[in-house]
Structure 1
């Protein structure tokens, strides 16, 4: 490109060090899904036996794709579209597809974080009273029918605005001064608060019954393929891989960085927190079953929105010191959400900045305000919960899974870059730990397993829908995916305003000489 149409490439920001990156990576991975999704998924898919496919999924798919994200971001040093263009112009659209996925996810993710902030305040007075379910559905103004209606709910919009202001300011301040600093504050607070919450939950009457319900192995479940698919789905949902987050984060690392060691630490920290969350949640559910004099299996709302905003408030109202427990739970829930939220925005803002030549603060404001408006229009309304449920299902089960499949097949089979990326991982890390097995997993195992999940989801949604009716899902499910595909192609055709094609990656021969 001629110099008259492009801006000089600005010096790329960097994390202050390996620890700053590690805390940001862990902060991104530990999010809402760890607390409200993992316990229920484990419970309904074999209990203690679920840990077998869960660990296998972590080792066979989660870690390999995490390493792939790290290698791509660190070697080609840019946002997702920049990285995939430098990898091959044919794949720039995939980078924009990942940006679109992140853009959509942050529009509804912010809403759930806003709910949790509001409930942190509600916990002080136990505002939901004796009927947490009615209170929640009244708070979000839920309509009776899942048909889109733009009737904004001011009580939802108020905390939502706070979430967006925090996210935009944090990302606009930059990687080291904004994202890293926020994680250095929120992540330790999250861990301490959640540990206190878990200890308190373990001391409740009936806690042991809850833990027995969660961890008692149902070995027969291991013969059910759906349990294995649930394990792989949980790993990809919680590790933040396959849609640009870890790729973007790794691009800010210094040339000599311990990618392999950091990846292992981040992945196992994430899984450890999920297990901790399972202990805390099911100890609390055991108490609820004890109070109601029923079995844990007879309780409703053991996962998702119902767990966090109906079941838990109900329990909190019935336990000694419930207000403090509520503040701890929703406070830690909010912090987990905020650290993940800024990581999603961090995918979108640099991509816009690099494509347009804008500064990162300007790109962050434009992308953030645009998504914030959509948050209000789509999800802070009387039909927002229905829209959120559909968009989340389609964008994760089809969009994210499809993105990961194409990334693995494209790099492993079309471009044949796995050997180069394996060498990069080993040479920049402290030890050579990634072997031939990584290439096999990326090129064969991950595409096969995720391909099966992808076609199962597509077939199920096409034949039976997701439970909301054809026209509603056609717009917010299939329509959202189609819009993303079109925009990905359009953005890849737009001219770059910063130079991206004259980039030289790290010279691996020089690194090998140093080794």
Structure 2
């Protein structure tokens, strides 16, 4: 590993990991998942997911990264070269996430500019679906190119390239130090303001009202575990890669709790902000929240602009702050998504960081243009479901088998405990990562697969299969292509 791939301090590492965890999923995905999956009752599968998957897997991944100090693909190859394909499968899947993530970021940039003058007009719903997205559920929508979305999406890729092609500390490290604290400050300001709005209590009551019957729903448990995977970025190679950049001893175990807590804190205060504002909107329009709430992009690009229209002049402050928060959260997460594949390519093919990042940004930017079409919003929904609810869970299962069984996770216990000043791991942690977690995830994954596939249309199934084939073909090529770095086989 070259000197450019090293954090200069433990603080930079922790901030970078928090920035990686806190992203768009915390703001536009989690509030709706919490509301639609049992409200207050959802905290039971959510907390269980953090305790038996989030924290244990983070410890496992940080430990592997610190132990091997190699790229993700090389770490897997060192453990067992027959599994090298998995070493590419997960980083390439993460690049697919990054590609559709960047399109949401591009739309957010448009809204950030529009928020300065409420440029979405009197009817944000019509503006979003008809005027901006020109949404279509037909494949012919791929032929309808939307220039403004394409340009704003490419701006995000330019930002990612500008930061990532530099050496680690002057690029990603510096951004993490500045923007991660700023992200939390802005969100706290938004929460405080949102709680002062008339009707905020209506929204919070609706959000946290528990529906205990949802605890028997397989899909709810799958959503809880999928949310932790998505928001903590676990099972997706980023944590292993970030930990491999450490050059000093660090208390991995204690820092894992800090990172997991920071992530949960952020997405839960984001939910408070969202539903406080929705409560205000419900009061002002005499409309039940159930008739207002929408998921995903509809929540942040339709509901929020509608609220800003009601807020009057205050919206000219709150609006830009809100969309700036989303943009910062998205950028810090996307920066972490490019690292695993970038470092893996560098380490196998002996290509410089600058050249690797440049190639990946060009490929990713061009691929993201498919979302700058009328069919883009439908395509995004399909890819999100596949990556986060099907592929993501399965990758964590495979990673647990590889790290916990083939490598033997017990080798990490003394190694990690020697660096921990307070919290120690032992047989309980080992039991979770070797037995409980893989079994629990497989049950949820199988049950959830039936739920997801039963709701699939032919179009969804076709796009899912096509996406999987693209990922697998790329991984086969990267696996079979001969290494040009002599250190790869050491």
**1:512 paired residue number:** none
Per-residue CA deviations over 1:241-293 (Å, capped at 9, x if unaligned) read 01111111110012411111111100100000111011101100100110111
Does the CA contact (< 8 Å) of 2:222 and 2:448 recur in 1? no
Does the CA contact (< 8 Å) of 2:397 and 2:441 recur in 1? yes
**2:287 paired residue number:** 294
Does 2:5 align with 1:13? yes
TM superposition shift of 1:144: 5.1
Does 2:325 align with 1:332? yes
1:362 corresponds, among 355, 360, 377, to 355
Counterparts of 1:20 and 1:144, CA distance in 2: 43
Counterparts of 1:149 and 1:224, CA distance in 2: 35
Does the CA contact (< 8 Å) of 1:140 and 1:155 recur in 2? no
- The 3 A distance-change label for structure 1 pair 184 and 494 is same
Does the CA contact (< 8 Å) of 2:137 and 2:378 recur in 1? no
Q: Secondary structure at the match of 1:37?
A: helix
Counterparts of 1:218 and 1:387, CA distance in 2: 31
Counterparts of 1:216 and 1:94, CA distance in 2: 41
Q: Secondary structure at the match of 1:86?
A: helix
Counterparts of 1:461 and 1:279, CA distance in 2: 28
2:381 corresponds, among 386, 389, 394, to 389
TM-score, reference length from structure 2: 0.95
TM superposition shift of 1:397: 1.6
1:82 corresponds, among 74, 83, 95, to 74
- The 3 A distance-change label for structure 1 pair 81 and 13 is same
Q: Secondary structure at the match of 2:418?
A: helix
Counterparts of 1:47 and 1:53, CA distance in 2: 11
Counterparts of 1:266 and 1:147, CA distance in 2: 44
**1:443 paired residue number:** 434
- The 3 A distance-change label for structure 1 pair 294 and 461 is closer
Counterparts of 1:141 and 1:295, CA distance in 2: 28
TM superposition shift of 1:13: 2.2
Counterparts of 2:21 and 2:245, CA distance in 1: 17
Structure 2 residue runs without a partner (length 5+): none
Counterparts of 1:154 and 1:258, CA distance in 2: 48
Counterparts of 1:83 and 1:386, CA distance in 2: 36
- How do 1:391-410 residues align onto structure 2 when only pairs under 5 Å count? 391-410=383-402
Counterparts of 1:282 and 1:325, CA distance in 2: 15
Does 2:446 align with 1:455? yes
TM superposition shift of 1:112: 0.5
Does the CA contact (< 8 Å) of 1:65 and 1:442 recur in 2? yes
Does the CA contact (< 8 Å) of 2:222 and 2:445 recur in 1? no
Does 2:29 align with 1:44? no
TM superposition shift of 1:416: 4.9
TM superposition shift of 1:484: 1.7
TM-score, reference length from structure 1: 0.91
- How do 1:314-353 residues align onto structure 2 when only pairs under 5 Å count? 314-320=306-312, 321-353=314-346
Does the CA contact (< 8 Å) of 2:238 and 2:340 recur in 1? yes
**1:122 paired residue number:** 114
- How do 1:169-318 residues align onto structure 2 when only pairs under 5 Å count? 169-301=162-294, 303-318=295-310
Counterparts of 1:357 and 1:80, CA distance in 2: 15
TM superposition shift of 1:460: 4.2
**2:95 paired residue number:** 103
Counterparts of 2:348 and 2:78, CA distance in 1: 13
1:489 corresponds, among 451, 476, 479, to 476
- The 3 A distance-change label for structure 1 pair 224 and 460 is closer
Does 2:27 align with 1:35? yes
**2:46 paired residue number:** 54
Counterparts of 2:455 and 2:40, CA distance in 1: 31
Per-residue CA deviations over 1:200-242 (Å, capped at 9, x if unaligned) read 1111110011111112333444344443333222211211001
Does 2:149 align with 1:156? yes
Counterparts of 2:103 and 2:365, CA distance in 1: 9
**1:424 paired residue number:** 415
- The 3 A distance-change label for structure 1 pair 39 and 269 is same
Counterparts of 1:81 and 1:14, CA distance in 2: 18
Counterparts of 2:270 and 2:150, CA distance in 1: 28
Does the CA contact (< 8 Å) of 2:79 and 2:407 recur in 1? no
Structure 1 residue runs without a partner (length 5+): 1-8, 504-515
Counterparts of 2:137 and 2:39, CA distance in 1: 34
Q: Secondary structure at the match of 1:15?
A: coil
Per-residue CA deviations over 1:56-78 (Å, capped at 9, x if unaligned) read 21011111111121111111112
Does the CA contact (< 8 Å) of 1:146 and 1:386 recur in 2? no
**1:434 paired residue number:** 425
Per-residue CA deviations over 1:457-486 (Å, capped at 9, x if unaligned) read 443454542xxx42x334421121123223
- The 3 A distance-change label for structure 1 pair 60 and 288 is same
1:473 corresponds, among 445, 453, 460, to 460
- Aligned CA RMSD, in angstroms, stands at 1.8
Counterparts of 1:64 and 1:249, CA distance in 2: 17
Provide the aligned length of Structure 1 versus Structure 2: 488
TM superposition shift of 1:145: 2.4
